[in-house]
Chain A
């Protein structure tokens, strides 16, 4: 599994890194931490690039490297990564141009397997989408603070699953709220819920929500299949059926102490573009972390 963790500042990125690295550690995934720096307009990009090159000759880091250096040090201080025994021999932080507007950062004295630090500049949606499409990530993890619109666009336009780390509190004991139904993507969502439950060592509430008074047979069997999967993988779970509107009911049930996990909508892209979708509506209203599994 390939995980992409998108960060953009030191201030709001700790929860995003925490969540991303917990999942990555459990799944032994290859992880990329991406910082998208400010967009430079075309009148000036050559001048900015010359200024950046000159900065290197002064032993000064290019803008953005400090954020990735901070992220690396944070992961180390929280024991998410351990430096390899043989340090690299760089005398200073190095930025290697990897083409298509992305550079890989190699930090002075730091070497670790399965972790890449990537720097890009530009529009955050376009750069994240390009990174995901070009390198086939399975999961993209982004912060939730003030980024509903960004998460909304990413859910619409990228192929990977998306974890929006909205209001994540390390001290809070979370449960997973897994919304099941009879859609094609349901199985993937259940599998992902198992992985997250294992990563955080938490329990799962399996809910099937329907407008009708009596829950349909298909929804019921989807719940049972999910429960069976949890049992087989050793994850504790409870099954609930709730009558009501999916979006409001799920948001109310989740409050701020659940991680919502649901599959992507089976609507066509055009319908989603004009009418929106249930997962997007949940994401816009919820006050807790949420995963949309694709």
Chain B
């Protein structure tokens, strides 16, 4: 037919079935383009919202690679006349993107030092051999560490520790048990609650700081962030541990021989070496740099300085950083931030915020509740569907345009986007534990819904009673 072989036609049909979301997005964007622009929305704002819809549908459906979505956002911004090529390029790169890029590279550098064995020893030395203490230890260490070096890094480093303990307990690492569930979820949920603790806990925190600065609403320092969020993190540690223990109580109440075997295994690797000490030292310097110098130099530049030191001291080579850094995510974050800025500048965010307030006020009767509902409940639910960073990138400009104190609304959105308890796609750590085959999609709901509700409540309490005591 038309000179095509049967195989070519079959290939085309296969492509169509696999890329139906891409085709649908294209058709929808064309039809929305010809829709009359709604009242109160500028023509540029109308076109920006088309890009948002296309980007969201492609991110959720994963029909094309993420870097392709990132490029499509930039292409559409220029082709649809939302901004000039130079304007798009400058909105694409910001300190927030440099910070995300630097943090991902720092994470690769830290993992490369083999510190996971040290981490294992630290956990079991603190916790001893009682299983409930090990669970509490896993949640605590995961939460505290992920607040500084990023949840995905800690998740990757803690996973083998949990699997080694499971194997040492005489259980198969290929078969799900309550012990495997409680240990793996204590990593994933520990990392999730930890990621709110500092700007380096997750890319979304950097995106929100970037928006607040870019829109001239507030300059949030690393230390300001810690003051706002750390109390909530600390409160969540015992709550998460308790809920996980009650939901997945394992029959093994002590793990004596398992812990002993793990100690022997770690002891074989010898004492901490000079490179590992230097790696910890450089990260400590970076951390101090974030606290003391980020208001002047920016979070991104401090993070890149750390990467520079790792490379210069030969603790890692560029090939390794290049191989293990997720460049696609960096491109997507850059594009999403660019899109967020366009949403603000074209008035699209303001229009969506206004529409949301108008319609939801009919239901809730109070603008404060509407603002809380969108920035906490909607952000929390979207993060479980989209991914936390994409949620903040898209929802950020809208909630910041909903009135009230933008710092409070921005923080609530950022924190709620860490409530990644319900689905596999919600965060990289959820995906890491799911990839073991020991956790099914349904398992996420077992403890996840309880944590989601408690976290929403806790955030409300913190925002009502603690934040007003701070002068932000």
Footprint of B on A, CB under 8 Å?
37-38, 40-52, 54-55, 57-58, 60-61, 63-64, 66-67, 126, 129, 153, 156-157, 159, 268-270, 273
> CB within 8 A of B435: which of A63, A67, A129?
A63
Residues on the A chain within 8 Å of B65, using CB: 42
Do A47 and B152 have beta carbons less than 8 Å apart? yes
Is the CB of B281 closer than 8 A to any CB of chain A? no
A44-B432, A47-B152, A51-B155 known; A66 and B160 CB under 8 Å? Answer: no
CB distance from A42 to the nearest CB of B (A): 4
Query: In B255-276, which residues have CB < 8 Å from any A CB?
Result: 265
Segment from B43-51, B217-225, B321-329 that makes contact with A:
B321-329
Is the CB of B456 closer than 8 A to any CB of chain A? no
Do B156 and A47 have beta carbons less than 8 Å apart? yes
CB distance from A264 to the nearest CB of B (A): 11
Query: In B419-472, which residues have CB < 8 Å from any A CB?
Result: 425, 427-429, 431-432, 434-437
Task: Pull 30 A–B residue pairs with CB atoms less than 8 Å apart, ordered by A.
Answer: A38-B434, A41-B425, A41-B431, A42-B66, A42-B326, A42-B328, A44-B427, A45-B326, A46-B329, A47-B153, A47-B431, A48-B156, A48-B428, A48-B431, A49-B324, A50-B156, A54-B156, A54-B157, A55-B163, A58-B164, A60-B167, A67-B174, A126-B18, A156-B13, A156-B14, A157-B10, A268-B9, A269-B9, A270-B1, A270-B9
Q: How far is the CA of A50 from the CA of B156 in the complex (A)?
A: 6
A42-B65, A60-B160 known; A48 and B174 CB under 8 Å? Answer: no
Residues on the A chain within 8 Å of B164, using CB: 58, 60
Residue pairs across A and B with CB atoms within 8 Å: the count is 114
Do B428 and A43 have beta carbons less than 8 Å apart? yes
> CB within 8 A of A270: which of B13, B160, B167?
B13
Do A61 and B173 have beta carbons less than 8 Å apart? yes
13 extra A-B contacts, CB within 8 A, seeds A55-B160, A270-B13? A38-B435, A44-B432, A46-B329, A47-B429, A47-B432, A48-B156, A48-B431, A54-B116, A57-B114, A58-B163, A60-B160, A60-B167, A66-B174
A60-B163, A60-B167, A60-B173 known; A40 and B435 CB under 8 Å? Answer: yes
Residues on the A chain within 8 Å of B152, using CB: 44, 47
Is the CB of B205 closer than 8 A to any CB of chain A? no
Do B160 and A43 have beta carbons less than 8 Å apart? no
Residues on the A chain within 8 Å of B108, using CB: 50
Is the CB of B7 closer than 8 A to any CB of chain A? yes
Residues on the A chain within 8 Å of B6, using CB: 268-269
CB distance from A133 to the nearest CB of B (A): 9
Query: In B393-431, which residues have CB < 8 Å from any A CB?
Result: 425, 427-429, 431
Residues on the A chain within 8 Å of B242, using CB: none
Footprint of A on B, CB under 8 Å?
1, 6-7, 9-10, 13-14, 17-18, 62, 65-66, 108, 111, 114, 116, 152-153, 155-157, 159-160, 163-164, 167, 172-174, 265, 324-326, 328-329, 387, 389, 425, 427-429, 431-432, 434-437
Most buried by A among B111, B172, B326: B326
Do A58 and B160 have beta carbons less than 8 Å apart? yes
> CB within 8 A of B437: which of A37, A60, A126, A153?
A37
Residues on the A chain within 8 Å of B428, using CB: 43-44, 47-48
Chain A binding surface, main DSSP class: helix
Q: How far is the CA of A48 from the CA of B328 in the complex (A)?
A: 15
> CB within 8 A of A63: which of B18, B160, B325, B436?
B436
Q: How far is the CA of A268 from the CA of B173 in the complex (A)?
A: 47
Residues on the B chain within 8 Å of A66, using CB: 172-174
Residues on the B chain within 8 Å of A48, using CB: 156, 428, 431-432, 435
Residues on the A chain within 8 Å of B173, using CB: 60-61, 66
> CB within 8 A of A156: which of B10, B172, B328?
B10
Do B62 and A41 have beta carbons less than 8 Å apart? yes
> CB within 8 A of B14: which of A40, A58, A60, A157?
A157
Q: Which residue of A lies closest to B389 (CB)?
A: A43
Most buried by B among A48, A64, A126, A157: A48
Q: Which residue of A lies closest to B328 (CB)?
A: A42
The 9 closest A-B pairs by CB, nearest first: A44-B431, A66-B174, A44-B428, A51-B156, A46-B326, A58-B160, A47-B152, A47-B428, A42-B66
Q: How far is the CA of A114 from the CA of B260 in the complex (A)?
A: 42
Residues on the B chain within 8 Å of A46, using CB: 324-326, 329
Q: How far is the CA of A49 from the CA of B434 in the complex (A)?
A: 13
Q: How far is the CA of A67 from the CA of B174 in the complex (A)?
A: 8
Do B431 and A269 have beta carbons less than 8 Å apart? no
Residues on the B chain within 8 Å of A40, using CB: 431, 435
Residues on the B chain within 8 Å of A50, using CB: 108, 111, 156, 324
Q: How far is the CA of A42 from the CA of B70 in the complex (A)?
A: 13
Residues on the A chain within 8 Å of B163, using CB: 55, 58, 60
Do A269 and B13 have beta carbons less than 8 Å apart? yes
Q: How far is the CA of A43 from the CA of B67 in the complex (A)?
A: 10
Do A47 and B160 have beta carbons less than 8 Å apart? no
Residues on the B chain within 8 Å of A153, using CB: 17
Q: How far is the CA of A234 from the CA of B324 in the complex (A)?
A: 59
Residues on the A chain within 8 Å of B1, using CB: 268, 270
Do B114 and A159 have beta carbons less than 8 Å apart? no
Q: How far is the CA of A66 from the CA of B163 in the complex (A)?
A: 14
Residues on the A chain within 8 Å of B326, using CB: 42-43, 45-47
Q: How far is the CA of A268 from the CA of B427 in the complex (A)?
A: 44
> CB within 8 A of A51: which of B265, B328, B435?
B435
Q: How far is the CA of A55 from the CA of B174 in the complex (A)?
A: 13
A54-B159, A268-B6 known; A43 and B13 CB under 8 Å? Answer: no
Do A47 and B437 have beta carbons less than 8 Å apart? no
Q: Which residue of A lies closest to B161 (CB)?
A: A58
> CB within 8 A of B111: which of A43, A54, A159?
A54
